[in-house]
Amino acid sequence: MNYEILPNGLSVPKIGFGCWKIGGEHSADPSLDGWSLAALRSALELGYTHFDTAETYAKGHSEELTGQAVRESGIDRESLLITSKVTPAHLGYQSVLDACAGSLRRLQMDYLDIYLIHWPAPNMPLEDTFRAFNQLVEEEKVRHIGVSNFSVEQLQRSQALCATPIVTNQVPYSLGDRSYVKNGMLAYCQENDILLTAYSPVAQSGMKINPALGSIADAHGATVQQIALAWLVQQKRVITIPMSGNPKHQADNLAAAGIVLSEAEMQILG
């Protein structure tokens, strides 16, 4: 397993497990519980240690199932890195505290490793948000703070308000989506020791835009999806959180962190 290690000592796997669609999408779907738990169990058995969920995923049911799978696995909680997110509707001081308490209750855990603002919102009360975040860190209910889908300006404002280093901005990034490269976010994160967590890392559009992708995959005895992931995580301060319920695909995703692309291949992919 390859890691990004930040100056504050936080070590995060290059490839984690995204929990969107675990337990449902925008609402809970108990008919998916068997599939969801099987997906989480196989991920844990394969050696995934970073699990990324949110209070809005399946209206909290994703957190419930993630916690259940961790407890049933018998794996030491301290060996895992659990991320969750607060919705933009809950960014007031008390609302953040209540939201975090709800996430911990659903996960049946004592703390979150990383807690993110899920989306920016107009007129965000960031002073209140970070007053609550800072309190949660002081109370050891949260170990590290991050954001998601933030612009450089919003990230800088968050840094000024956070008593501890902002550890990540989670954004869409893939071969087919370079919007957070174009807006300067990737360079800013790399220059400031902030992880850029790439979600939707193997969007199908990215599988089609570069005719060299297939030949590079063949040269490494890998799938095009693995090369797309390897391209991401070979970049400084970039990690990613693909999701799959298929154990074979989960193993392939995890193995992608070990694929070393040449400088020429990285340039060809762009």
Residues marked active site are found at 57
CA 19/CA 234 separation, integer angstroms: 23
- Count the Cβ atoms, other than its own, within 10 Å of residue 121: 15
Residue 270, SS3 per DSSP: coil
CA 235/CA 69 separation, integer angstroms: 31
Contact by Cβ (8 Å): 220, 259: yes
Pairing of strands 11-13, 3-5: antiparallel
CA 144/CA 148 separation, integer angstroms: 14
**Residues 221/224/225/231 CA torsion (nearest 10 deg):** 90
Amino acid letter for position 216 = I
CA 241/CA 17 separation, integer angstroms: 5
Residue 84's closest CA among 98, 105, 100, 108? 100
Residue 175's closest CA among 201, 146, 214? 201
Contacts of 203 (CB under 8 A, 6+ apart): 172, 174, 175, 176, 177
